[in-house]
Amino acid sequence: MNARKVHAILAAGVQAPDLIEEWHRSPDTLRALGADPSAFNLAALRNFAGLTVKVRHNPVRQDLPLTFRLMSLLGIEIEIFSSYATARSASGKPFATWAAQRAAEFVAFLEGWLDFEQPTHRAVWDIVRHEQALSSLLKIDKLNPSEENAENQPGVCISENDRPFVRGAVRLFEMAFHPRALAALLLRQNFDFNALDVAPGYYCYWRKSVADPIQFLELDALAFHFLSLADGTQRIKDVQFLLTGSRQDTFTFLECLKPLIGLGVLAVSPYKAMNPR
């Protein structure tokens, strides 16, 4: 087979890896190009296409360095990127020009690709969300003024009719591993995944205002779900009903919210306010 033809076929496969799948399914399509299918290691070519897509995602590393490191240390980086390369090629969608968008699309792919039954895959999902939360909160350069300027209300007397809202911006995640422990492990020279304890938890990444640093909060289940529903449109008693199925014992429920108000992540607007934001 002459070099010119071989180069043309290899380049076509790398540029459009779904072609490699087609050549694998129907070797006659490769023969039709004047090539001997048995001469091509299509599995390796597919993985090589994955390597090239991984390299094209190098700008994404700036936001997701530990995610890339974990994928590499677990030995699944090439597998992930070759699957991604094939999927993108089949979809006909080019990769986004901007790194942030390219990262978001990659993370969306990961969510569908990862097998959450596998602890290693869960760890990848945890660290990628951890890094994306930090990166997206750091990039915020403007927050709704009413949220930024809301007075802290630690001593405020809250009522079941108040409408709760989050002050600033939060990212809320339920994770299988403690993200800080995972990050610390990844920064060590000797990586041993088995040294990491499974530590399911609820985590909140919070930036109160553009002048404030990001805070990392470990929450209980109630606080986590309450914050995810506190959008300023529903009354506390409505959120309570959504979470507990009951409107009884509101006093206890309100007591549970006081630590969040004390921290400043949660604020309330009075019942009569038409638009608390």
Partner 1 sequence: MKFFDPHGDQPRIGLAYGPGLIEFLDANPGLIEYVEMPLEQLRHSPELGAIQDRLPLVLHCASLSVAGFITPSQQTLEAVAREASRTKTPWIGEHLAFVSADGISEEAERDNAPTNLTYTLCPQLSEETVQRVAENLAAFTGHFDVPIILENSPQYFPIPGSTMGMVDFIRRVVEVCNINLLLDLSHFLITALNTKTDAAAELEKMPLERVVEIHVSGLTSQAGVVWDDHAAPAPPEMFDLLKRVLKRARPRALTMEYNWTAFPETLLLSHLSETREILSAR
Nearer to partner 1, 16 or 217 (CB): 16
SS3 category, 154: coil
Site string for partner 1, 19-38 (x = CB under 8 A): --------------x-xx--
Nearer to partner 1, 55 or 157 (CB): 55
Nearer to partner 1, 94 or 112 (CB): 94
**What is the rounded distance in angstroms from the CA atom of residue 256 to the CA atom of residue 253?**
5
> Of 69-77, 139-147, 166-174, 256-264, which segment contacts partner 1 by CB under 8 A?
69-77
**What does DSSP say about strands 169-175 and 163-166: parallel, antiparallel, or unpaired?**
unpaired
Question: Binder to partner 1 among 21, 24, 27, 79 (CB under 8 A)?
Answer: 79
Rule CB under 8 A: is residue 39 a binding residue for partner 1? yes
- How many residues contact partner 1, by CB under 8 A? 46
Rule CB under 8 A: is residue 187 a binding residue for partner 1? yes
Nearer to partner 1, 47 or 144 (CB): 47
Shortest gap between Cβ of 69 and partner 1 (angstroms)? 4
Task: Give residue 206's identity as a one-letter amino acid code.
Answer: W
Kindly report the CA angle at 64 between 88 and 219, in degrees rounded to 5? 115
Residues between 145 and 174 with contacts to partner 1, criterion CB under 8 A = none
DSSP assignment, residue 152?
P
Rule CB under 8 A: is residue 135 a binding residue for partner 1? no
DSSP 180-246: HHHHHHHTSSS--GGGSPP--EEEEEEE-STTSPEEEEEE-HHHHHHHHH-BSSS-HHHHHHHHHS-
Encoding tokens for residue 71?
A: 């994928």
For residues 79 and 110, the answer to whether their CB atoms sit within 8 Å is no
How far is C-alpha 89 from the geometric centre of its chain's CA atoms? 23
Rule CB under 8 A: is residue 195 a binding residue for partner 1? no
Question: Binder to partner 1 among 17, 18, 78, 223 (CB under 8 A)?
Answer: 78
SS3 category, 150: coil
Question: Binder to partner 1 among 17, 18, 20, 45 (CB under 8 A)?
Answer: 45
Nearer to partner 1, 36 or 111 (CB): 36
Rule CB under 8 A: is residue 40 a binding residue for partner 1? yes
Of 94, 87, 50, 90, give the one whose Cα is nearest residue 72: 50
Residues near partner 1, by CB under 8 A: 1-12, 14-15, 33, 35-36, 39-41, 44-45, 47-48, 51-52, 55-56, 58, 61-62, 65-66, 68-69, 72, 75-79, 82, 186-189
